[in-house]
Structure 1
């Protein structure tokens, strides 16, 4: 192996490679235009090539057909044996060749030549501007002047390029001379029209491509504008300001859908960050209160007074218990967003409802009433549903007095399973209905302070959402409230209540 060069510490670290410079900025816009132009140019080249080859093929077939036609004309003329001009019989081969060539007017790029005994004799009349290229060509004369059978072929003229020819021998009884009539086409010149058409296609196509490139540049700019708006909006968003949104183009296409999707994502992110900030602020405030209470009582504690010590210990134990419940509720809310939060199984709803009523009867001296129970089996997590209904019953118990009525029940209606708790308490004010389900929120009727931390209804809503359902509130201030836990009766496997 060759030795590996070791950088000299005295010279410092090796310099990074110089950045590569591009002729054009590498943006999505230029790449799109570049690829589009490349595809258009390839397509233009392919179409031009195919068209040119077809034109060349048609031209070659036309020249071959014209040569065959001339053969037939020469055969008719020589078989008759008389001059079509004078009506007299031919006397010499030279006369036959001269009459046959004079009888035919050559087309552009077409020539008729006559040879007698290996020497050039005459050629057809030419349209003005047709070059004289074969009459004085000894190589061509050597090729065709001495044939004794009809021969066709191609000849590369030094001045005219490819020549397609057909040589026909001519003989006449009574004349020992041997003649040859040659019909020839200047193939390269005849194909000039096809070449000009191909060049015209390339020229017009090139101009069209340039115009299309300019138009595509403008169109691509308009199409990619939402992407530039996405980047510009992303640069304005910081950890303290999430209010920026991308302007909606209002079009029902992929980019419009992208803009609306990103804006919806930003809405969710902003809501989540705002909820997180509120949660941190509220949790800090709620936890700071018992800590302040405990610290204040410990600061004034008289260790020499057994009664003061017992009272302070009891208060500290109560506050620590409240903090423990708060932390447990917070952990429960955090776990509610995880897939393993629920353990779904098919449950007899009627038996579950009866068990919940038995449990909540120990919450307080109230008139507990089982209003109805759904006689169905449904997929749900019985422990979480029990936890949610017990939390609703505990909330109702807090807002009612001894002997007040609290009703519970379950019912299947419209494909939705409902568990409800109704009480005869003071109800929920209209301005509190939306926020009582938020964390650390309490209604106006909750008083200055309660044993809870304002997380009970948040936990109920989290359990409902985990089941794919929701929590409904029906309340009239002064006449009680009904909280309804509503969940679908179908699970993820498509099962339903039976």
Structure 2
């Protein structure tokens, strides 16, 4: 099974993100529907219970009004017995659906309303014992064969009649609540349909939402050591988190592809450059005449020179490799003016040139003095290789626009237009110089790595026939206050631009 097939198969497994999203969506919808249904049902039941209690109390008020007059509403004569009172009360009060009126005399059932009921409470001996002989108004609940019954029993007496009567108002509560149960069942049915529709909608939406993620996985699975060209398609105009994710992954793949390509070029160039001196040494050793002291002397000198060149090349390669490590640059307070003067003293021995000191920045900044010195020496060595004896080479430094600028300017032939885009590449050499250098073409790459490690850059200002200026542009970080630091205005520009370090040429670019 291929990687693509495994990715597709995961879409249907419980572990798949799409399945989990749908599961969580359905769970949330189910909980929401269940909560809404339950709350609605409880509110309806509560409302029905309150209505039943209010109805019971209202019926008692009506009983009291009829009994309070002591007269039969039908005849206008006084009631003759408790039984007459019960008959009249039950007759003149219309029972509602699921409501029942009952009358008891001396604990024995006598009367009831004519409305049909789920069960005959009059025939229920346990209910008769419960309410038939109460002496005080009593309210309660009774579990009958038809479910819960809510009742209110009120005793009745009549002067001149020793019998004791009880009128009972009863509600079949479960039947009364049936409307609420029907509403809840309807909501559950609608909720089930909604759940199915939500599942279908979530499946479609989750598929659309996760499509970029699947494309990321498929693209990553298609990336191999030999093919890094795969990219995630981003719909035009898309501006959401997943589109940002796809663009970020594409940008990362671009960086990886460029890095791998640069590594391959680097290995090819390094192998070629190291193979050349080895070939030269082997060729001279093969034709060496051990009996000829002059030939031996010349061969040893040539081998020593080639080994020295290989040693410099390996040292530069190791330095470029270490430039990507965090501890490559170790910042410390540095007197920039003193460092500039010191570097000029070192580079004077690189060749018979007119070495000059330009402006110097009088400030204490956080730099790595060894790396900065190494970079300036490399620039000076490059200038010495492309100039003739007596040509002027100026080393200087100044602060401008919040940056420290350390430059090496020469009056040589300058850099050809076609070389400016490649002189900072590893193993690259300019073609327009007065003479070709025998170096490996790593010097300017080392300078660029040192500048980047400081958080800066290298700029090239040149016009053919008018010399070249290479300058390091580094962040001007002031030394901590407890160290001997610069004056308050030390980071301000130090006056007019040095003639040997002009402003950036709008036509110039990095070598």
TM-score (norm 2): 0.88
C-alpha contact (below 8 Å) 1:105/1:125 kept by paired residues: no
Query: Which residue of 198, 202, 205 corresponds with 2:188?
Result: 202
SS of aligned partner of 2:413: coil
User: How far off its partner does 1:132 sit?
Assistant: 5.2
- The match for 1:29 is 18
SS of equivalent residue, structure 1 residue 435: coil
Instruction: State the alpha-carbon separation in 2 of the partners of residues 89 and 130 from structure 1.
Output: 32
Offset at residue 83 of structure 1 (A): 2.6
Specify the alignment match of 1:257 in structure 2. Answer: 244
Match of residue 401, structure 1, among 383, 388, 394: 388
1:363 aligns with 2:350: yes
Aligned to 1:176: 162
Matches within 5 A, 1:41-440: 41-126=30-115, 130-131=117-118, 133-158=120-145, 160-249=146-235, 250-440=237-427
Deviations 1:388-443 (A, max 9, x none): 11111111111111111112211111111100111111211222212111110111
Taking the aligned partners of 1:25 and 1:112, their CA distance within structure 2 comes to 60
Contact 2:385–2:437, Cα closer than 8 Å, also in 1: no
Range moving further from structure 2, 426-435 or 202-211 = 426-435
| Partner residue, 2:452 | 465
| Contact 2:385 2:435 (8 Å CA) reproduced | no
Distance 2:197 2:89 in 1: 56
C-alpha offsets along residues 152-200 of structure 1, whole Å, 9 cap, x if unaligned?
1211112x11111111111111222222111000011111112112211
User: Structure 1: how far apart are the matches of 2:289 and 2:24?
Assistant: 86
Measure, in 2, the Cα distance between the counterparts of 1:124 and 1:261: 81
Q: 2:509: which partner in 1?
A: none
Q: 1:336 to 1:22 in 2, by over 3 A?
A: closer
Separation in 2, partners of 1:264, 1:23: 31
CA contact (8 A) 1:102 1:125 kept: no
Q: Which stretch of the first structure deviates more once superposed, 41-50 or 408-417? A: 41-50
On the 8 A contact 2:364/2:478 being kept in 1, the answer is no
Question: In structure 2, do the counterparts of structure 1 residues 392 and 465 end up closer, same or farther at CA, with 3 Å as the change threshold?
Answer: same
Tell whether the 8 Å contact from 2:100 to 2:117 is kept in structure 1 after alignment: no
Give the unaligned 5+ runs of structure 1. 1-20
Alignment of 1:39 onto 2:25: no
Cα distance in 2 for partners of 1:153, 1:179 equals 19
Q: Is the 8 A contact 2:385 2:436 kept in 1?
A: no
Q: Is the 8 A contact 2:333 2:479 kept in 1?
A: no
2:386–2:436 contact (8 Å) kept in structure 1: no
CA distance in 1, matches of 2:332, 2:239: 42
SS at match of 1:372: coil
1:305–1:22 CA distance, 2 compared to 1 (3 A): closer
**Unaligned 5+ runs, structure 2:** 1-9, 491-511
SS in 1 for 2:253: helix
Once the two structures are superposed, residues 332-381 of structure 1 have per-residue CA deviations (whole angstroms, 9 ceiling, x without a partner) of 11111112211211111111111111111221111122221111111001
Structure 1 pair 435/133, CA: closer, same or farther in 2 (3 Å)? farther
1:237–1:243 CA contact under 8 A, matched in 2: yes
8 A contact 1:118–1:141 mirrored in 2: yes
1:448, distance to aligned residue in structure 2 (A): 8.3
Distance 1:139 1:493, change over 3 A: farther
Cα deviation for residue 467 of structure 1 reads: 0.2
What is the match of residue 5 of structure 1? none
- Superposed CA RMSD in Å reads 2.2
Given that 1:409 and 1:420 are in contact with CA atoms closer than 8 Å, whether structure 2 keeps it comes out as yes
Q: Which moved more, 1:279-288 or 1:98-107?
A: 98-107
User: How many Å apart are 1:130 and its aligned residue?
Assistant: 4.8
Q: Secondary structure at the match of 1:445?
A: coil
Residues 221 and 180 from structure 1, CA distance in 2 versus in 1: closer, same or farther, beyond 3 angstroms? same
1:184-242 Cα deviation digits (max 9, x unpaired): 00011111112112211211111111111110111111110111001111121110111
1:12 corresponds to: none
Distance in 2 (CA, whole Å) between partners of 1:448 and 1:297 is 25
Report deviation, 1:446. Answer: 4.8
8 Å CA contact retained: 1:332, 1:459: yes
Q: CA offset at residue 89 of structure 1?
A: 2.0
- Taking structure 1 as the reference length, the TM-score comes to 0.91
| Contact residue 346 and residue 379 of structure 1 kept, 8 A | yes
Give secondary structure in 1 for the equivalent of 2:250.
helix
Cα distance in 2, alignment partners of residues 237 and 87 from structure 1: 105
Give the secondary-structure state (helix, strand or coil) at the position aligned to 1:468.
coil
